[in-house]
Amino acid sequence: MEEQLKFWNRPSDEEIQKTLEGLGITKDTTVVLYGTTAATTAAARAGLIMKYAGVEDIRLVNGGKTLWALEGREWDTEIHQPEAAEFRAEVPQNPDVIYDYEEELAAVNNENAVIASIRSWEEYLGNISGYTYIGEAGDIAKSRFGYAGSDPYSMEDFRNVDNTMFNYEMMEDRWERWGITPDKEVVFHCGTGWRASETYFYAQAMGWENIHVYDGGWYEWHKQPESPVKEKGLPEDAPEQKPEEFFVVKKK
């Protein structure tokens, strides 16, 4: 079980530092991350680890390779080998960016914290686990629906058709309905931390400060004995009976 709990969590601090240094990344390096539509969550996950480590300037390309291709931009086809460098700081510099199990448990028991579930509607309701390697369906206690996409590998609730970031005011409005607001300690989670990493950067772009990602997600939570879990289905105070899709025309 001890080994299973490590499967999807971040590597050790020593391994993270070694990898960054091998890529020539120091704490002062400007790192620009991007991916295809499917790999945008992976780019965000890498960015989160770098933020945790202490890289001070991290950028995500809005739209990634998807928008780049749509705009007909040129591609670089050369192979670039990085030169190793010293990170020049102890890893991690920002440990509170990522929460581990005990910190997530403390947040669940904190009235001033909100547990933001960045999962599909069916995962949130507890109808499916969403993963072949997660046997039990369900979600973390006190979870509030934070939107994601139609399945565990999609994030269309946060992206336009060209893979750019969704309108932030509408994004914030959807979160507010579920009590996910910047005046609280907000902890994002998903199945294994990739989708939650993407929303971390959206919240950061909107100026939210007290934000975190629970690294283990539902995968670790459901494997830990006696973890408090959310009742299946919608909570009694749910503001929506189904997730909002795309644009909504509000009646005057």
User: Is the N-terminal amide bond of 92 cis, ω within 30° of 0?
Assistant: yes
- The residues, ordered by sequence, that sit 6+ positions from 14 with a Cβ below 8 Å of its Cβ are 91
165 - beta bridge partners? Answer: 159
Our answer to whether residue 107 is catalytic in this structure is: no
Contacts for 95-100 with beta carbons within 8 Å, 24 or more apart? 95/52, 96/212, 97/48, 97/51, 97/52, 97/200, 97/212, 97/213, 98/10, 98/48, 98/52, 98/212, 98/213, 98/214, 98/215, 99/187, 99/212, 99/213, 99/214, 99/215, 100/214, 100/215, 100/216
Catalytic residue among 31, 155, 190, 203: 190
Catalytic residues: 190
